[in-house]
Amino acid sequence: MKSLLISCVLLSITTLGFAQRSCGSTEYARRMNYNVFSNQDNLGQTSQTARDTFANEIITIPVVIHVLYNNSTQNISDAQVMSQLRVLNEDFRRLNADASQTPEAFKSSAADCRIMFCLAQVNPRGAAQKGIVRKFTNRTSFSVDDDMKFSAAGGDDAWDAKKYLNIWVCNMQSNSIGYATPPNSEAVRDGVVIQYDCFGTVGTVRYPFNKGRTATHEIAHWMGISHIWGDNSCGSDGIDDTPRQSNYNSNCPSFPKLSSCSPNANGDMFMNFMDYTNDACMNMFTNGQKQRMRNVFSGTGYRNSFLKSYACDSSLATAAPSVTEPVKQEKPLPSVVIYPNPVQEQMQLMPVNGYDLKGKTVSIYTPSGVLMSTRILNASTNKIDVSTLKQGIYVLKIGDNNDRQVLKLIKN
């Protein structure tokens, strides 16, 4: 049945050409014998028992983009890279403008996943380096075989997969416009691959993959969720609030799209990021998908180490800069900076981009979640005495559930 299904997918891709979305993740995971993306997550938990990290904290993931090019067109601009990061920070926070297009029937299922992405500021050797690596390759194209992840094969080696989400942007020879590794994959292969002209919203991007949703889809696989149709006829993705579908959807159907396995008159959730519809047709993750994705960051999750990664913070670089590419972040989001960090006695919290500290609660936790101290801020610049903390890494949370900043604090 599975091989029949794959044959059908390949046949339809061949028939429809490159305008049909095709993701290589499921086929890749099967070939590599990785036990996801199945209808139970990789911890063997059901969606009812999936755990969160600190409840609903914003998880920030440092990203490194490996741009592999054989010609100048494939060497996409910084602006194109940053346009992709903007889309990710909108889609995983449900700040995307087209969230309003979610049909009324599905709106209560739509989730702010409270996951964000930053371009890495510190490389694995501790030096200040922006997370865009550009590399000429003799390879005119790559396939779903991981060669782009190895310098020896004409690609570029991964940065430490415990701290960085590696994204390789290159020219794919196959019909797949992207693929991802599941959360339990080998570190040197871990990450996401995206076709260079299906990445971001400006520059080389081509319709209908010109809204950055290929990366949104693949990164969700990287966090362990599967296709919404469960890669099977009327299959299940193991998530309670995504309706069963008879198959994937293409282009952009009209709501409601019914089939023989539709659970009710609302039909398919074809606007879910885990279907195969056009970029402009997708606009939501569900609460169940959010729970499953956040589960991989929990204490026992495969991606828990990301909660302790500080690669987004350039003030933590310990060596001289190795590459200084000026990269401007579009639409910077309000945030807070800790200074100094690492700190010995007293630290200062400094608001950035209009973040308002006044009246916010600040709590310091150990990485395992033990509360060490808490206080309410009363001015726009604040000093906090941390002289009594032991040496180590701490998690600093500022603000309430709907507007919470989470920062790493290093005590020397």
For the annotated catalytic residues, the residue numbers are 218
CB closer to Zn ion, 23 vs 36: 23
Instruction: Name the minimum Å distance from CB 359 to Zn ion.
Output: 43
* Cα separations in angstroms, 155 against 168, 171, 222, 225: 9, 11, 20, 27
CB closer to Zn ion, 23 vs 58: 23
Of 115, 117, 109, the closest CA to residue 53 belongs to 115
Backbone angles phi, psi at 358, to 5 degrees: -60, 130
* Three state DSSP letters for the chain: CHHHHHHHHHHHHHHHHHHCCCECHHHHHHHCCCCCCCCCCCCCCCCCCCCCCCCCCCEEEEEEEEEEECCCCCCCCHHHHHHHHHHHHHHCCCCCHHHHHCCHHHHCCECCCCEEEEECCECCCCEEECCEEEEECCCCCECCCCHHHCHHHCCCCCCCCCCCEEEEEECECCCCCEEECCCCCCHHHCCEEEEHHHCCCCCCCCCCCCCCHHHHHHHHHHCCCCCCCCCCCCCCCCCCCCCCCCCCCCCCCCCCECCCCCCCCCECCCCECCCCCCHHHCCECEHHHHHHHHHCCCCCCCCHHHHHCCCCCHHHCCEEEEECCCCCCCCCCCEEEEECCCECCEEEEEEECCCCCCCCEEEEECCCCCEEEEEECCCCCEEEECCCCCCEEEEEEECCHHHCEEEEEEEC
Residues 4-63 touching Zn ion, rule: CB under 5 A, are: 23, 25
Q: Are the C-beta atoms of residues 198 and 167 closer than 8 Å to each other?
A: no
CB closer to Zn ion, 142 vs 355: 142
CB closer to Zn ion, 23 vs 349: 23
CB closer to Zn ion, 121 vs 176: 176
Alpha carbon distance 205, 109 (integer Å): 30
Instruction: Name the minimum Å distance from CB 226 to Zn ion.
Output: 8
CB closer to Zn ion, 25 vs 245: 25
Instruction: Name the minimum Å distance from CB 398 to Zn ion.
Output: 35
Alpha carbon distance 326, 329 (integer Å): 10
Instruction: Name the minimum Å distance from CB 37 to Zn ion.
Output: 8
Residues 235-294 touching Zn ion, rule: CB under 5 A, are: none
Instruction: Name the minimum Å distance from CB 193 to Zn ion.
Output: 12
Instruction: Name the minimum Å distance from CB 306 to Zn ion.
Output: 21
Instruction: Name the minimum Å distance from CB 164 to Zn ion.
Output: 21
Instruction: Name the minimum Å distance from CB 42 to Zn ion.
Output: 16
CB closer to Zn ion, 11 vs 319: 11
| Closest residue by beta carbon to Zn ion | 23
CB closer to Zn ion, 276 vs 310: 276
Q: Where do contacts with Zn ion occur on this chain (CB under 5 A)?
A: 23, 25
